[in-house]
Amino acid sequence: MNDMTKIERAIEMNDMKISAKGVQVYYGDTHAIKDVSVEIEDKTVTAFIGPSGCGKSTFLRCLNRMNDTIDICRVEGDILLDGEDIYDKRVDPVQLRAKVGMVFQKPNPFPKSIYDNIAYGPRIHGLAKNKAELDEIVEKSLRRGAIWDEVKDRLHAPGTGLSGGQQQRLCIARAVATEPEVLLMDEPCSALDPIATAQVEELIDELRQSYSVVIVTHSMQQAARVSQKTAFFHLGNLVEYDDTTKIFTNPEDPRTESYITGRIG
Ligand SMILES: Nc1ncnc2c1ncn2[C@@H]1O[C@H](COP(=O)(O)OP(=O)(O)OP(=O)(O)O)[C@@H](O)[C@H]1O
Ligand SMILES: [Mg+2]
């Protein structure tokens, strides 16, 4: 650290995609996130782990203002995306969510065709000038979602007619269709079997080439397999944040150690 030049330090700062400082979240009187600060790196998979109810989903939802949709939820502190305050009054949450996409625990395709599931976002955001361009975006997104080969002959069939694992890959393809910069995933594999899970994990590793990916997971094996950075939450606190290998082999905090060895959680 000490022998880094100013320029090296500046470059390292640039690699920070999201910077959260002193974040507090309340649901009415419940203090769900307590003074959390964290730097999320670009082109990196960051895992959020911790026992049920510790605030992983709450904190994840702060990163694209999904908590705005919960009436009793209040968020304080600063969250910067590429240095810009995402809670600034001038930021349109819909535009923000195109840049910071989200995949949920339960696959939730729209009740529309496979094609329209993908085309929906690009249409709203005016990403295609004509049908040919839209077709291209749809194909590219389905390829990135690693599901093109399985659906290319049934693009106009309903998305809800796919298997659970296929639906989740469709939802990932839908999230990447608007060219997001960050992809938030809240337990994206919890409804999937081991084969579909492996496919989604492989996909996450590929998406990391282009995006910053943040994944909430209850599976420590999954966190260890897919992430480079891991954040351990406990009772609304961010207890420890470090390289994934460090967290799983030599954590600093006894609470982290208890969790990864199965004593709490
Ligand atoms: N919509 C809500 N209204 C009120 N309280 C909420 C709401 N969502 C979450 N909470 C509370 O905030 C705290 C953190 O919940 P959160 O869902 O973020 O935990 P989590 O770590 O994602 O848990 P899990 O692993 O079970 O998904 C909990 O005490 C929870 O009860
Ligand atoms: Mg959760």
pLDDT tens-place string over residues 114-171: 999 999 999 999 999 999 999 999 999 999 888 999 999 999 999 999 999 999 999 9
- 7 pLDDT exceeds 80? no
Which pair of structure tokens corresponds to residue 196? 């579909």
pLDDT of the residue at 188: 93
Largest CA distance in the chain: 59
Q: Which residue among 23, 24, 52, 58 has the greatest number of ligand 1 atoms within 8 angstroms of its CB, and so is best to mutate?
A: 58
Residue 217 CB–ligand 1 contact under 6 Å: no
Atom of ligand 1 nearest to the CA of 60: 18
Task: Measure the CA dihedral 242/37/31/98, to 10°.
Answer: -100
pLDDT at residue 193, as a whole number? 86
With cut-offs at 50, 70 and 90, classify the pLDDT of residue 3.
low
Residue 56 in contact with residue 25, Cβ under 8 Å?
Answer: no
pLDDT score for 5: 62
Question: Where are the chain's structural domains?
Answer: 3-260
Strands (DSSP E) along 56-144, which ranges? 73-81, 84-85, 100-103
Q: Please tell me the pTM assigned to this model.
A: 0.91
| Cα–Cα distance for residue pair 143/206, rounded to 1 Å | 12
SS3 of residue 221 by DSSP: helix
Among residues 5, 2, 34, 49, the alpha carbon closest in space to that of 215 is found at: 49
Query: What does the pLDDT average to over 41-57?
Result: 97
CA 68 to chain centre: 17
Q: If you take atom 9 of ligand 1, which residue's CA is the nearest one?
A: 58
For ligand 1, whether the C-beta of 53 sits within 6 Å is yes
CATH of domain 3-260: 3.40.50.300
> Atom 6 of ligand 1 has which residue's CA nearest to it?
27
- Ligand 1 atom at minimal distance to the Cα of residue 48: 21
Selected residue with higher pLDDT from 11 and 99: 99
- d(Cα 115, Cα 149) in Å, to the nearest integer? 14
Tokens, residue 60: 């994840």
- CB of 69 closer than 6 A to ligand 1? no
**Quick one: pLDDT at residue 265?**
60
pLDDT at residue 225 greater than cutoff 80: yes
pLDDT in tens, 191-222: 888 988 998 899 999 999 999 999 999 999 99
Residue found by looking up tokens 């600093």 in the block: 252
4 pLDDT band (50/70/90 cuts)?
Answer: low
CB 27 near ligand 1, within 6 Å = yes
Over residues 177-199, the pLDDT tens digits come to 999 999 999 999 988 889 889 98
